[in-house]
Amino acid sequence: MKISLIGSGNVATHLACALYDLKHQIVQVYSPNCQNAQLLAQRVKAQPIDQLKKLQPTDLYLIAVKDSAIGEVAKQLASLNIDGLVVHTSGSTALDAIKHSSPYYGVFYPLQTFSKGKAVDFAQVPLLLEGSHAEVLQQLDILARQLSPQVYHYSTQQRRSLHLAAVIACNFSNYLYSVADGYLTGQGVEFDLLKPLILETAAKVQEHAPIEMQTGPAVRQDQGILDMHRHMLDSQPQLQQLYQLLSAGIMQLHTKP
């Protein structure tokens, strides 16, 4: 497929490189920031552009920009009378948000966390698809299965629910890792020691329901340790509040009838 890439962030970069490795042709990479477009374009042998009106006709226009910019991109594409397939890659933006961009449009959402400097194995990434027409969905399905065996046809609402759950389970977990890191640094203790435990905690729920894998003082109702931890956080009221709220949540979840 001839593909135009709109965006040059983490999702755009990982998708572009994966599609390029599959021998698809990335024709152009658009970014309002010319330098970002150039960096990615160089890696996938594409032409960098900093204006959407410079887009050449291709089979697929892949929008991988932040959610708040998708509407504006769709509007500009609409004025270009594109007839290729336009898809966005967002977990939370409706299919309809790009309905004026082209007669054929869809969603191609990779449910994974992408960071610069960390390679992604797309075979491990669930891909959630939505299409304006059955033919669009079929075309996206063929493309998606080249990247991953985990392909799902999900409605906007289902995709949004998953995205929200992903924020809770993953973005928030990473935040807790950061908080633990910051706390340990303040105590002169190495964060490195926590790494096997962090990995094991995630590994356990691959095969078991998380509610059955809960450990720690809150689920044991160990008031002595909970009190001690609260005192240890006396000088950090925000962290103390977080500790209390999450401990109370665990206790409540595990005392329900």
Segment 194 to 253, residues that bind a copy of itself, using CB under 8 A: 194-220, 222-225, 228-229, 232-233, 238-239, 241-243, 245-246, 249-250, 253
Q: Is 118 helix (H, G, I), strand (E, B) or coil?
A: coil
Task: Please pick, from the candidates 27, 106, 167, 235, the single residue that binds a copy of itself as defined by CB under 8 A.
Answer: 167
**Contact map string, positions 144 to 163, toward a copy of itself, x by CB under 8 A:** ------x-x----xx-xxx-
Give the number of other Cβ atoms within 10 Å of residue 26's Cβ.
24
What's the DSSP call for residue 64?
-
Using CB under 8 A as the binding criterion, the count of chain residues that bind a copy of itself stands at: 94
Closer CB to a copy of itself, 67 or 135, in the complex: 67
Q: Minimal distance in Å, beta carbon 236 to a copy of itself?
A: 11
Interacting positions 7-46 with a copy of itself (CB under 8 A)? 10
Give the number of other Cβ atoms within 10 Å of residue 251's Cβ.
15
Interacting positions 60-119 with a copy of itself (CB under 8 A)? 66-68, 92, 111-115, 117-118
Interacting positions 116-145 with a copy of itself (CB under 8 A)? 117-118, 120, 124-126
CB 101 within 8 A of CB 79: no
- Measure the CA–CA gap between 116 and 95, rounded to whole angstroms: 27
- Measure the CA–CA gap between 192 and 179, rounded to whole angstroms: 14
φ, ψ dihedrals at 157, nearest 5°: -65, -40
